[in-house]
Amino acid sequence: MTSNLDPRQKLFVALDLSSLSEAERLVALLGDSATHYKIGYRLGYSDGIAFGRELAASGKTIFFDLKLHDIDNTVREGVESIVRTGAHYLTVHAYPQTMKAAVAGREGSGLKILAVTILTSWNDVDCAEAGYQGNVTTLVQNKARQAVAIGIDGIVCSAQETGMLRAAGIPDRIELVTPGIRPKGAEIGDQKRIVTPSAAIAGGADRLVVGRPITGARDPAAAADAILAEIATTLG
Ligand SMILES: O=C(O)c1cc(=O)[nH]c(=O)n1[C@@H]1O[C@H](COP(=O)(O)O)[C@@H](O)[C@H]1O
């Protein structure tokens, strides 16, 4: 669990933007308000890896959200490449072989591996449709336990599940990283397990991941500042 009370350390801004120039513009606009950035498929599949490397070198905390899942050798070698970027976090899907390969790939480095349990855009019906037995709560708990046993550094889940995970014995050293964050009144979009920034912090989320409520806002800097203020108030 993180103990630092600087609200900026609680917020990963998701740079889900269509071009490098848009991402550069947003980073410049947010300035010192944002210290933590997440780069996922949209930017990662174009210029995002090089940009993340640059941001990491400039002192930002970088989270590559690549959600790896492949044969062991491919996962391990992919993770080794990400280690060389200087990034701080990387996601993989929470399948045992994939998580073990990722842990092997980051050995000896400072890269933290986050295991994505059940996507925040899924509910119980989606889990059943995918052939899973058990509801979201049970699946998140089981996957988190497996991840901890394998040596993963953090869990990606909804902030609806953080209290349940701690109660189930997921230790404080495991970071609980929570997307699906929606300030009151924000558009929900494709997310199904949403939580407000203040409720997420109050419920024990270590990091919040926020994309469209900031990137899609008319004034992204004001939107980020409002979320940071909400986090700060809740942290007390
Ligand atoms: O791994 C993730 O970051 C992730 C996992 C998950 O379960 N749900 C989820 O939304 N995400 C990512 O978190 C971000 C959420 O973006 P917004 O819904 O726009 O705030 C996106 O970049 C998603 O890819």
Q: Is 229 left (phi over 0), alpha (psi -120 to 50) or beta?
A: alpha
Cα gap 157→119, rounded to integer Å: 7
pLDDT in tens, 181-227: 999 999 999 999 999 999 999 999 999 999 999 999 999 999 999 99
- Gap between the Cα atoms of 219 and 201, Å rounded: 23
Mutate to test the pocket of ligand 1, among 209, 210, 215, 227 (most ligand atoms within 8 A of CB): 209
Kindly report, residue by residue over 129-169, the tens digit of the pLDDT.
999 999 999 999 999 999 999 999 999 999 999 999 999 99
The number of beta carbons lying within 10 Å of the beta carbon of residue 225 is 16
**Rounded CA separation 213/28 (Å):** 18
Residue 180 CA, ligand 1 centroid: distance in Å: 6
What single-letter amino acid sits at 219? D
pLDDT tier for residue 4 given thresholds of 50, 70 and 90: low
Q: Check residue 3 and give its pLDDT.
A: 44
| Predicted confidence band of residue 5 (pLDDT cuts 50, 70, 90) | confident
DSSP result, 127-148: HHHTT--S-HHHHHHHHHHHHH
**Is any ligand 1 atom within 6 A of the Cβ of residue 43?**
no
Closest CA to 32 of 231, 224, 230, 229: 224
Measured from the CB, is residue 40 less than 6 Å from ligand 1? Answer: yes
Hey, what's the torsion of the CAs at 183, 184, 189, 195, to 10 degrees?
Answer: 60
Query: Is-catalytic flag, 219?
Result: no
Query: Which residue's CA is minimally distant from atom 5 of ligand 1?
Result: 119
* Per-residue pLDDT tens over the stretch 44-57: 999 999 999 999 99
Quote the ipTM score.
0.99
DSSP strand E in the chain: where? Answer: 11-14, 36-39, 61-68, 89-93, 112-116, 154-156, 175-178, 207-210
Domains and CATH numbers, the chain: 7-235 (3.20.20.70)
Average confidence score pLDDT of the chain: 97
Residue 192 assigned to a binding site: no
- Asked if residue 196 belongs to a known ligand binding site, the reply is no
